[in-house]
Structure 1
């Protein structure tokens, strides 16, 4: 697999320039109302490992409603049991909707745990086998199809979360498109990380139109195109408002705020991002 920075720096600067739209003025923002804001818990990963229940309480106090977990050194739910995180979230007025996992030797237990939490989606966060070739992506697509069958039996929807390297090409084929074209759109959904898609010079809206209904989940983030890393909303180069205005084209059901790097503390960043979104209104 190529490095993220190598691939991004080798992407076409013209395409990137067309997609890094300026943030809209305050007046132009007054076209959208954002409710049920979700968060990918990887954003507050250290806090979750130190005190999962306390961190969830802080997120609830800020106003976050939807949760997506991420596999950690303490397991799928930061040391909490499946029913435990479900109950804590519900008591706080939140819902665990999704979780990032790997397809590995623990897959059967992973699916069972997801079913126990009552979450809607189980998202593979990394390719199950490595290789930037069409053949490997075809193999991964077939693995996803089998995983989706397992999830369906458990009452959970399977999906895959992209990075940047999936948008490389081999023999003229975009590798990400191989995953989309080779899997059943009713069985294998995609969680689109909008930031990484745009950094590669691609437009998420083009994918929403070409593959309708495939992107029910989003990672919503702003990106510093010079540092090639995430930042707080409105401080980077991605037009958050434009993305939200195209939610219907995506058939988006849930979005999760994600920020991987911070200028201060993670909790200050998630507060800032939540307040930014709540200022967007009809």
Structure 2
């Protein structure tokens, strides 16, 4: 299976205008972009036209958890305008987080309600992880497990392999554990821990993650596309090109 490949537009937020990046990404071989708020918020229809002009799709987009809870209809409408399938809340701030089982189960329940609303329109909700979901609570349990247990099978997973490694966990183990829930794979790579350049992130294939070893596990998931991301590249085009070339060399 050859995966469709998307580029997380957050990676090049510091190099506007974003619209000018789209044809460059298409030339590199990307099929789609995965935008983050606020890239699409001001005028989703205009954003869709820019994607269409560049020959790119949008399979999913990052959005605030509060938007899923308080304004599900607005974000469903945005998804339909962009042609996206996946609504992806990616974060809760450090100030919001509570180190309790109850807090993380409540988060999972919020995602479940959003997933029910999205499903009525043929859409899906997927949680995107960072590192904090894999850090054990005082009782030894992990937030990520409470999120999905409380969320139920309707809550899907965009797995970010780089943040899992940053948390000290094993992406291979998580790919196996959540295979039936993973619908998007983000191939974020991390340089050796302690690296300062580019905040320690690097192009896919240039870091410490054994991507070749993970490929067989990718194929056991429900993922239908993969996404490249780098949180702070000094050269976004070098990152984007190197990453997609490495993924293609792996047969992805």
Range of TM-score over shorter length = 0.7 to 0.9
Give ranges in structure 1 of 5+ residues lacking alignment: 1-32
Does residue 195 in structure 1 map to residue 158 in structure 2?
Answer: no
Q: Deviations over 1:215-247 (max 9, x none)?
A: 111110210132363112332111122222321
Deviating more after overlay: 162-171 vs 272-281: 272-281
Does residue 64 in structure 1 map to residue 26 in structure 2?
Answer: no
- C-alpha separation in 1, matches of 2:33 and 2:226: 9
Q: Secondary structure at the match of 2:109?
A: helix
Q: Show the counterpart of 2:58.
A: 96
Q: 1:112-261, aligned counterparts within 5 Å? A: 112-127=77-92, 129-170=96-137, 171-185=139-153, 187-227=154-194, 229-261=200-232
- C-alpha separation in 2, matches of 1:231 and 1:211: 25
Report the Cα offset of residue 255 of structure 1: 0.9
Q: Show the counterpart of 1:83.
A: 45
Report the Cα offset of residue 77 of structure 1: 1.1
Deviating more after overlay: 100-109 vs 175-184: 100-109
CA separation of 1:154/1:125 partners in 2, compared to 1, >3 Å: closer, same or farther?
same
- 1:110 aligned residue (52, 66, 75): 75
CA separation of 1:53/1:261 partners in 2, compared to 1, >3 Å: closer, same or farther?
closer
Report the Cα offset of residue 34 of structure 1: 5.1
Q: Secondary structure at the match of 1:274?
A: helix
Give the paired residue count: 242
C-alpha contact 2:124 2:155 (8 A) present in aligned 1: yes
Deviating more after overlay: 115-124 vs 126-135: 126-135
When normalised by structure 1's length, the TM-score is 0.78
Report the Cα offset of residue 93 of structure 1: 2.7
Q: Show the counterpart of 1:11.
A: none
Bigger relative CO (Cα 8 Å, ≥ 6 apart): 1
The RMSD of aligned alpha carbons is 2.2
Q: Show the counterpart of 2:17.
A: 51
Q: Deviations over 1:7-41 (max 9, x none)?
A: xxxxxxxxxxxxxxxxxxxxxxxxxx855321111
Report the Cα offset of residue 172 of structure 1: 1.9
C-alpha contact 2:204 2:228 (8 A) present in aligned 1: no
C-alpha contact 1:222 1:236 (8 A) present in aligned 2: yes
Give ranges in structure 2 of 5+ residues lacking alignment: none
C-alpha contact 2:11 2:236 (8 A) present in aligned 1: yes
- C-alpha separation in 2, matches of 1:60 and 1:95: 10
Larger radius of gyration: 1
